[in-house]
Amino acid sequence: MRHPSPTGERAVPREVTALASVLLAPNPGPMTLDGTNTWILRAPGATGCVVVDPGPPERGHLGAIAAAGPVDVILLTHGHIDHSEGAGPLHDMTSAPVRALDITHRLGEEGLTEGDVISAAGVEIRVLATPGHTSDSLSFMLVGDQVAVLTGDTILGRGSTVVAHPDGRLGDYLTSLRRLRDLGDVTVLPGHGPELPAAGRAADAYLAHRQARLDQVQAALTAGDTTASEIVQRVYADVDPALWPAAELSVRAQIDYLRERWHHLAALPESHHA
Ligand SMILES: [Zn+2]
C-alpha cells in the first residue's frame, strides 16, 4: 500500500529516451510485474504530450499524468483494464481523445489501426498491428532520431506474456513477434517491466520460449494429458501457481494452434474443456 507523501509531491516521469518518459502505476501484481508503465511521449521543447496506456484509475497516478501534460491524445496498446481503465477519467480531466483499435475503448472521433501515423507533441508515431496477446494489441513505433517501439503486453520487460485465449491467438502472436524481431536494435518500451535495448533480441527470446512451451505441450498431449489444467500442472510446474490461471489460457491457445496445424490429430482435447 502506497501512501501519498505528506508534502503532496507527485511522481515525476522517469526519462528513458529523449522522447519517452515513464510513470509507473501503483498496481503491482503477478500479472502486472511492478505495475503498468504509462508512457509520456514528447519532443524536447514541445508543450503537449502523448500518453500511452493511462493504467488504472488511481487518483495519484492520473494526477501525475495530467501534471506532465497538457495531454494532446491518449493511445491504448490494447483494452486490458490494467492499461485502459484510467483512460476515461483521464479524458474527463484533460479532454484529450482516447484512440484504440477496439471501438469500445475510444473516446472521440478517431480510431487507431495498422499503418496510422500520429503526429503530436513533436513526435511521429507509426501504428503496428501486433495481435496475439489480444486481438486488439497494437505496438507504436517512435520514428526519427530516437527510434523506439512501445510494445504493450506483446513484449514485456521481463518474463513472458499470456496469449489470452480465446481472444488472443498463438499463430497471430508468433507473426507479431517475427514482425518485432525484424525491427532489430530498436529500444523496447514495454507495458510492464524495464525497457530493453533491442526488439530483435527480445522477440527472438520470446519466439524461442514459445517454441519450447509448444514442444512441452505437445509432449504432454502425447503423454496422455487430456485437459488444459493437467497440461499446466505438468508444463508450468516451475511457475508460481498464482500464474496458472493465465498459463491455462496460453495452453488453450497452444492447443488451438496445434489443432489448426495438425487436423489429423483429432484426439487432441477441445481447448474450451477445462
Ligand atoms: Zn494485457
Strand partners, 110: none
- The CA 263 to ligand 1 mean position distance, Å, reads 30
Residue 226 lies in a domain: no
Distance CA 150, CA 190 (A): 6
Q: Give domain status of residue 6, yes or no.
A: no
Burial bucket for residue 106 (CB in 10 Å: 0-12, 13-18, 19+): middle
Please tell me the predicted confidence (pLDDT) of residue 8: 56
Sheet holding 138-142, edge to edge: 117-120, 123-129, 138-142, 148-152, 187-190
Question: CA-based diameter of the chain, in Å?
Answer: 66
Distance 133 CA to ligand 1 centre (A): 7
Residue 261 has pLDDT above 90, yes or no: no
How many domains are there within the chain? 1
CA of 153 relative to ligand 1 center, distance in Å: 5
Mean pLDDT, to the nearest integer, of 147-170? 95
Distance 224 CA to ligand 1 centre (A): 31
CATH number of the domain bearing residue 31: 3.60.15.10
Split at pLDDT 50, 70, 90, the class of 239 is confident
Position 7 pLDDT exceeds 50: no
3-state secondary structure of 195: coil
Beta-bridged to residue 51, according to DSSP, are 40, 74
CA distance 141 to 205: 20
152 CA distance to ligand 1 middle (Å): 7
Instruction: Assess if residue 57 is contained within a domain.
Output: yes
Give 176-227 pLDDT, tens digit per residue.
999 999 999 999 999 999 999 999 999 999 999 999 999 999 999 999 998 9
| CA distances (Å), origin 119, targets 114, 236, 267 | 15, 43, 51
| Cα(17) to centroid(ligand 1), Å | 24
Residue 255 lies in a domain: no
The reply to whether 263 falls in a domain is no
Supply the angle between the helices 199-222 and 228-235 in degrees, to the nearest 10. Answer: 120
How much distance in Å is there from the Cα of 264 to the middle of ligand 1?
A: 33
As a whole number of angstroms, the distance between CA 244 and CA 237 comes to 9
Q: According to the model, what pLDDT value does residue 95 have?
A: 97
Residue 106 Cα to ligand 1 midpoint, Å, equals 17
Here the cell at position 54 is 493511462
Does residue 5 form part of some domain? Answer: no
| Segments forming the whole domain that contains residue 38 | 14-199
Please report whether residue 259 resides in a domain: no
CA–centroid distance, 96 to ligand 1, in Å, is 23
Contact criterion met (CB below 8 Å) for 143 and 126: yes
Which residues have CB less than 5 Å away from ligand 1 (the ion)? 80, 153
Residue 80 CA to ligand 1 centre (angstroms): 5
Report how far ligand 1's centroid is from the alpha carbon of 161 (Å).
Answer: 8
Residue 9 lies in a domain: no
What is d(CA 254, CA 272) in angstroms, rounded to the nearest whole number? 12
